[in-house]
Amino acid sequence: MISLTQIGGRLPVDGQYSDYPFSEQLNYAAVSIFELNPGQTTLDKFDKNRLVFMSPIKRERENSGRCVLKAGKDKAYVVVCAPEIEGKKGDFYLSVYFN
C-alpha cells in the first residue's frame, strides 16, 4: 500500500482558516510506481510500458492505493509523486506499507 498525504487543508494560514475543499492549499496530485529495467537506477522519462501503478489525480489530503510488486534481486522500482500542473510545488508525505 502506498499513500501520498498533502500537508495543510485544515490548518490556518496567516491566522485564517480555508473553506473546504481547501483549494488554496491542496494540489491535484498523483503517485505512480514504475518498474526499472535490470541494472537501471533512475527513471529518465515517463514510460507507460514500465508503469506498474498510478493513483487517480485528485485534490484530497490523502491519495492512496494498493498494488502487488514482484520480488527478486533483479527487480527495482521508483516511486514518483507529482502534481497535475508542471512546476507546481507543495509539501507532502509519502508512506509505503509492505509485508
pLDDT tens digits for range 52-68: 999 988 888 888 899 99
Q: What is the pLDDT of residues 65-90, one digit of tens each?
A: 999 998 888 899 999 988 888 887 77
Q: How many structural domains is the chain composed of?
A: 1
Q: Which of 69, 81, 73, 68 is nearest to 30 (CA)?
A: 81
Does residue 51 have a pLDDT over 90? yes
**pLDDT of the residue at 2:** 92
pTM over 0.85: no
For residue 46, the enclosing domain spans 2-96
Q: What is the DSSP string of 23-50?
A: TTTPPPEEEEEEEPPTT--S--S--GGG
Query: Is the pLDDT assigned to residue 44 strictly greater than 80?
Result: yes
Going by C-beta distance under 8 Å and a sequence separation of 6 or more, which residues neighbour residue 86? none
Residue 9 pLDDT: 64
Q: Which of 59, 80, 73 lies closest to 2, judged by CA?
A: 80
